[in-house]
Amino acid sequence: MRGADAARSSGAPVSDTPDRIGKYLVQGLIIRTDYSEVWRARDPDLRQDVAVKVFRYKRTPGRDRIYGPAFWRERFLAEARVLAGLDHPHIIAVKELAVPENGEPYFVMPYIEANLIYEIGPDAEKPGGERPRALALERAVVLLRQVVDAVAALHRLGFVHRDIKPGNVLLTRKRGGSVKLCDFGMVKTPDTHGSRAGVWVGTLDYMAPEQRRDATKVDARADVYAIGALGYRLLTGTLPVGAFPPPHVAVPTVPRPLSDLVMAALAPDRAHRPANADIMLRRLEAIVPSLPRPAPAKPAAKLVSITRTTRPTRA
């Protein structure tokens, strides 16, 4: 997405595009939020496109009573450091973190071409006819396994992502690409620092019931719920909202063991869900050998990054 198009789609002005961020030559805006901006840029030394996420805090009077710039700057730095400490094929990497004299830190990631929305469409029908859609079983299982694998790596380290959703599942290509999980701005670290009582964070359609009540008290099972919602969306083309049938009832080609695993992840009572994504991964891998095999994917030509920060919402 070029800068002017991205800015128009987000309602952001295009007149304040910087020429450079550090050494990186800015090409265009990817996304602008209340706390950050992500720019497509060129690394002049490596001659590669990169995504540069910059801390830019926009003051809002009501919100500032609970969250101020110092809090969000700390969260921004924590996100970069968490990502830099991970080495996983399905988690976006951080190549550099810098804190310039203007006090607006930035970090640099590979530029990933797309996210899961390119394959499954929006969660609800949009004007113009773009509709949600299910994936072929083989493709849905490949993507679900890669997401679960990434989240399992986080859970082994004591992290809880808290915002797993299609927009945060990057794909190295628009069709047939591999997963790169991104946006760790809301991650809960083992010391539980970085959340405030009285608010919840995340995205409602993928959020566990207990996370809606208090994001500070969630554990790995909140991510398991989000994975279940994502799996349901991949397999059926719809969100698990209200009274919804199991995936194998909605789509008869979905094998019952896979349907049962998704429904277990979506249990309203977290005591009835798999305890973490590592357990879910083992259960999924036990199911996979009985499923159809996908055709091998072509190697990706390049990497891209679209990173979004989700605004916290008061409870």
Provide the residue range defining the domain that includes 149.
Answer: 127-162+182-290
Q: Do 138 and 281 share a structural domain?
A: yes
Q: Do 97 and 70 share a structural domain?
A: yes
CATH number for position 75? 3.30.200.20
Sequence-distant (6+) residues with CB within 8 A of 42 are: 24, 25, 27, 48, 49, 50
Q: Using alpha carbons, select from 130, 236, 136, 223 the residue that is nearest to residue 176.
A: 136
In the chain, the number of structural domains is 2
Specify the 3-state DSSP secondary structure of 107.
strand
Residue 52 has pLDDT above 60, yes or no: yes
Catalytic residue of the set 43, 49, 163, 223? 163
CATH number for position 136? 1.10.510.10
pLDDT tens digit sequence for 252-262 = 999 999 999 99
pLDDT band at residue 35 using 50, 70 and 90 as cut-offs: confident
Between CA 57 and CA 35 the distance in angstroms is 4
Active site residue 163: yes
Question: What value does the mean pLDDT take over residues 214-222?
Answer: 91
Between CA 280 and CA 276 the distance in angstroms is 7
Q: Do 108 and 31 share a structural domain?
A: yes
pLDDT tens digit sequence for 88-135 = 999 999 999 999 988 899 999 999 989 999 999 999 888 877 899 999
Q: Is the separation of the CB atoms in 199 and 190 below 8 Å?
A: no
Between CA 75 and CA 269 the distance in angstroms is 29
Q: Can you give the pTM of this predicted structure?
A: 0.84
Between CA 168 and CA 207 the distance in angstroms is 14
Residue 81, domain member (yes or no) = yes
Q: Do 87 and 212 share a structural domain?
A: no
Stated length of the chain: 315
Residue 31 has pLDDT above 70, yes or no: yes
